[in-house]
Amino acid sequence: MLAPKAFLDALSDQASRLFSGDTAAPRAELESQFKVLMQGAFSKLDLVSREEFDSQMVVLARTRARLEALEQQFAELEARMAPSAKE
């Protein structure tokens, strides 16, 4: 799936090709209005920016690494406790 900016640019390019016979001023106005319309539609959706998504992926990776380290420590503690429980 394209990023919202890339999606808007692609739609804008297609609209430009459709109206290529018009003069530049009406075409630019149409592109501008179309971008505003699409940005309004996207703003109603629950979307996050790529930067926010990437930063959350970093946080998730750190959290996952920490969880795995804690699981390993817990397993080691369980292994140490198991022989003494048998006595």
**pLDDT tens column, 22-65:** 556 676 777 788 888 888 888 888 888 899 999 999 999 999 99
The predicted structure's pLDDT at residue 85: 58
Confirm if 39 and 16 have CB atoms less than 8 A apart: no
DSSP collapsed to 3 states, 14-62: HHHHHCCCCCHHHHHHHHHHHHHHHHHHHHCCCCCCHHHHHHHHHHHHH
How large is the average pLDDT for residues 80-87? 72
Distance CA 38, CA 50 (A): 18
Better-predicted residue by pLDDT, 20 or 7: 7
In terms of Cα–Cα distance, which of 60, 53, 57, 58 is closest to 4?
Answer: 53
Residue 12 is predicted with a pLDDT of 77
Assess whether pLDDT exceeds 90 at residue 78: yes
- Please give the model's pTM, rounded to 2 decimal places: 0.49
**Residue spans per domain, the chain:** 1-46, 48-87
